[in-house]
A = this chain, B = another copy of it.
Amino acid sequence: MDPLSQLAARAQERGGVRLYRKNVEKALTALRSTEDFWSFVDRADLPVPAAAAIVEVLREDGYLAVEEDRLRWTPAGLTWLETQNVPPYTSHLCPACEGRGIPFTADKDLYREFLRVSAGRPPAIQDFDQGSVTPETTVSRVLFLEQNGDLWGKDILVLGAEDDLTGLAIALTRKARRVLVLDIDARLVEFDNRAFRELGIDNAEARVFDLRNPLPDELLGAFDVFVSDPPETLASFRAFIGRGIAALREEGAVGYFGLTLRDASVYKWREFQRLLTGEFGVVITDILQNFNHYMNWDYHPYTRAAQIAPVAAPPRDIWYRSAWYRIEVLPGFVRWNEPIDDDVFYLDEEGTTT
């Protein structure tokens, strides 16, 4: 077995997340480009336990050292690295649109109003796996919906992801026909409803709802579009995305959601994709990597990610990103709406940020 495959096997045993040679190669590319653990996780596109395990194995071999919260290659490590043919880290991301293909400045009025209205938003809390995306992300989501014809005149359901205030941003456009936000967090529901009242937006409403429960009948088949951001467990995916699909009116209706590789592996992605195209009967039309940029959350020190990390310092910069999916339901799509009674709702062996 070649050295990188061996390293993958050892890190897999230690971290409990399946790894192959290419994962380690990408991790080494990342480690060549940054001394910051959290930037490393970001660029390696791996679940935190896998990234931490790779660092551990490299330390064990004397190739990497942790000094003052920085990851540093040792002289032996640098010599070894030279022999491994690891690609240099390269980023060609467009500065104008942060790589999304849609600049958030395309609707400056919306961007400004969202910044103003979202000031004073409730901080992300650990109980509900919260972590807000940047305002630039939220606005870009709305512009993406608009560009795809999924905003104007539409009935839109936002499911359990209102820590991003996407429902609020959609309502601010005054272009949707109806906006309904369901979130478990009463603070967010109150925040939204107050904003709707103060701004005189009367076609938008937020309600407290726990997505482990089935949607009420009146919401089934009542929407053109749903938007969500599920925790990356299979149970949560069903609860958020299955119910999102169940809320859609007819074929051609669409769903949007984020999925990350920080709290899930490509294996789980494939499971989700099979569920979508198979059982649920939908087609995937878009997967945009790193569309969603998450702001750091105050409760970071209390997460499993922080405990697993080989450094004590919290993230300095954005490190948690997710892909943005768009799906379209086809004739015969399935409205899954069963109750969920599952301990593994927010977290499984790959997830660590809750």
* CB of A274 closer than 8 Å to a CB of B: yes
Residues of B close to A286: CB separation below 8 A? 287-289, 323
A85 in complex: contacting residue of B92, B96, B153, CB < 8 Å: B153
Mask of A145-156 contacts with B, CB within 8 angstroms, 1/0 = 011010111100
Residues of B close to A144: CB separation below 8 A? 92
Task: State the oligomeric state as a number of copies.
Answer: 2
A106 in complex: contacting residue of B26, B85, B92, B287, CB < 8 Å: B92
A86 CA to B26 CA in the complex, in Å? 46
* CB of A123 closer than 8 Å to a CB of B: no
**CB <8 Å contact, B96 and A250:** no
A8 CA to B273 CA in the complex, in Å? 28
A102 in complex: contacting residue of B26, B92, B323, CB < 8 Å: B92
Size band of the interface chain A makes with B: 35 or more
Residues of B close to A22: CB separation below 8 A? 250-253, 328
**CB <8 Å contact, B88 and A29:** no
**CB <8 Å contact, B252 and A269:** no
A267 CA to B333 CA in the complex, in Å? 12
**CB <8 Å contact, B85 and A93:** no
Mask of A25-46 contacts with B, CB within 8 angstroms, 1/0 = 1100100000000000000000
* CB of A278 closer than 8 Å to a CB of B: yes
Residues of B close to A92: CB separation below 8 A? 102-103, 106-107, 143-144, 146-147
A283 in complex: contacting residue of B266, B278, B282, CB < 8 Å: B266
* CB of A270 closer than 8 Å to a CB of B: yes
**CB <8 Å contact, A330 and B270:** yes
* CB of A83 closer than 8 Å to a CB of B: no
* CB of A228 closer than 8 Å to a CB of B: no
Shortest C-beta distance, A245 to chain B (Å), equals 14
A selection of 5 A-B contacts at a CB cut-off of 8 Å is A20-B252, A22-B250, A99-B101, A274-B278, A284-B284
Known: A23-B252, A273-B283, A285-B287. 18 other contacts (CB 8 A): A20-B252, A21-B251, A22-B253, A88-B152, A92-B103, A92-B107, A92-B146, A96-B96, A97-B101, A101-B288, A266-B283, A266-B285, A267-B283, A270-B330, A273-B277, A273-B284, A284-B287, A287-B287
